[in-house]
């Protein structure tokens, strides 16, 4: 005899309450990413907001933090931009390391650790990625950072078109590129939040007469442009010299020219917009954003260890050396060291009046040996 459960008013109310509870917990988890990560700037940094260079961003999710430190001797100005894509953690962690450690003795250093602030407020849908990751500092302490999305949060900019037409070139890109900060330059004020943030970042570069600008990124191990510096043609001499010095230190770094016909990217648009600026984008290899990866959890973000990538490496399908892992400290060490070497060479390439000197930055081997956490301000 078939038995059928018959609901009543009580079961209906109970189900509604359970659904409301699950929805509330999910909403609280989602909204927890709206809280900005904590940073502890080194002495000498002045705190600004991006809206100081474009007032329409004031109070918006795109109004991110900007930190400026000026040395005792005049010189050039260097910009370190992290967090263009918040699912590329070595990018913003490297920028934060400079923010919390740097002591500028000559010139100026500008650090924007979380460039696309909106993209830090959500995860990419259907990827089951972690919301955060922890960097161990020993003695029970750790620092926590968000693992966000490649794209601006759709609650701040929606919908994306089927085809995104880049301004002002008219180049046609996939629709999702409208929410990609590194497809939005030089930006415009009569479009979405992403394009307005792009406009403000370029306004900062122009107004502050930035001599050397870094856009820090990560790339999938199967992507050809990885473990590389992508340089505007006026930055090629600096990038090539730095690459040779990195090779001498046992750090292979490819040099890629910025494609003239691929518009919207920082290394192209920054350099074209300002004759004063050498524009360089850096990529390290990040398995946690690759399409061959397995489970996407905090361990993958921190270690880069993945069976599928190990197999792909044996089949010769990757563009980076990969035996069993690609840890975050290795990727951060590459960025931090390459930025330091480029800054050290700036005075030689542009002249002594454009030199920038920054002290108190850990070297490559120290980061590999001790990890990133010990070089950041103590956490809880």
Give pLDDT tens digits for 29-38. 999 999 999 9
pLDDT at 380: 60
Asked whether residue 234 is assigned to any structural domain, the reply reads yes
Asked whether residue 205 is assigned to any structural domain, the reply reads yes
Tokens of 8: 């009543």
Asked whether residue 168 is assigned to any structural domain, the reply reads no
Asked whether residue 261 is assigned to any structural domain, the reply reads yes
pTM of this prediction?
0.96
Number of separate domains in the chain = 1
pLDDT at 7: 77
Q: Are 231 and 238 in contact (CB under 8 A)?
A: yes
Asked whether residue 3 is assigned to any structural domain, the reply reads no
pLDDT at 1: 60
pLDDT at 121: 98
Of all residues in the chain, the percent with pLDDT exceeding 90 is 95
Would you call 206 helix, strand, or coil by DSSP?
helix
Asked whether residue 287 is assigned to any structural domain, the reply reads yes
* Predicted confidence (pLDDT) per residue in 205-222, tens digit: 999 999 999 999 999 999
pLDDT < 50 regions, the chain: none
Burial 220-240 (b: 16+ CB within 10 A, else e): bbbbeebbbbbbbebbbebbe
Domain that holds residue 138: 44-150+182-375
CATH of the domain at 369: 3.40.630
Asked whether residue 12 is assigned to any structural domain, the reply reads no
Asked whether residue 163 is assigned to any structural domain, the reply reads no
216 pairs with which residues across the strands?
282
Element (H, E) at 266: helix 266-273
Would you call 80 helix, strand, or coil by DSSP?
strand
């Amino acid at each position: 005899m078939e038995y059928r459960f018959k609901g009543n008013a009580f079961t209906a109310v109970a189900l509604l309450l359970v659904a409301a509870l699950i929805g509330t917990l999910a909403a609280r988890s989602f909204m927890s990413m709206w809280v900005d990560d904590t940073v502890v700037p080194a002495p000498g940094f002045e705190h600004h907001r991006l809206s100081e260079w474009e007032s329409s961003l004031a109070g918006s999710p795109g109004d991110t933090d900007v930190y400026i430190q000026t040395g005792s001797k005049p010189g050039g100005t260097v910009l370190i931009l992290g967090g263009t894509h918040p699912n590329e953690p070595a990018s913003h962690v490297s920028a934060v390391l400079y923010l919390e450690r740097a002591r500028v003795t000559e010139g100026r250093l500008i650090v924007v650790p979380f460039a696309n602030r909106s993209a830090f407020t959500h995860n990419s849908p259907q990827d089951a990625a972690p919301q955060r990751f922890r960097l161990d500092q020993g003695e029970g302490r750790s620092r926590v950072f968000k693992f966000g999305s490649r794209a601006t949060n759709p609650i701040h900019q929606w919908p994306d078109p089927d085809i995104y037409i880049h301004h002002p070139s008219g180049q046609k890109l996939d629709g999702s590129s409208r929410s990609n900060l590194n497809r939005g330059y030089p930006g415009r004020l009569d479009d979405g939040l992403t394009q307005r943030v792009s406009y403000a970042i370029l306004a900062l570069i122009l107004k502050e007469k930035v001599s050397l600008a870094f856009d820090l990124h990560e790339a999938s191990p199967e992507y050809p442009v990885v473990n590389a510096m992508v340089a505007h043609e006026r930055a090629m001499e600096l990038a090539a010299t730095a690459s040779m010095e990195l090779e001498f230190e046992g750090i292979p770094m490819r040099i890629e020219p910025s494609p003239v016909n691929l518009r919207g990217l920082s290394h192209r648009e920054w350099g074209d917009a300002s004759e004063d600026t050498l524009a360089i984008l850096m990529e390290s290899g990040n398995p946690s954003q690759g399409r061959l990866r397995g489970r996407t959890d905090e361990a993958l973000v921190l270690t880069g260890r993945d069976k599928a990538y190990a197999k792909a490496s044996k089949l010769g399908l990757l563009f980076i050396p990969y035996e069993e892992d690609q840890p975050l400290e290795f990727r951060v060490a590459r960025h931090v060291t390459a930025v330091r070497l480029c800054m050290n060479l700036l005075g030689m390439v542009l002249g002594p009046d454009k030199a920038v000197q920054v002290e108190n930055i850990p070297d490559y081997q120290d980061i590999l040996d001790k990890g990133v956490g010990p070089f950041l301000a103590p956490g809880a």
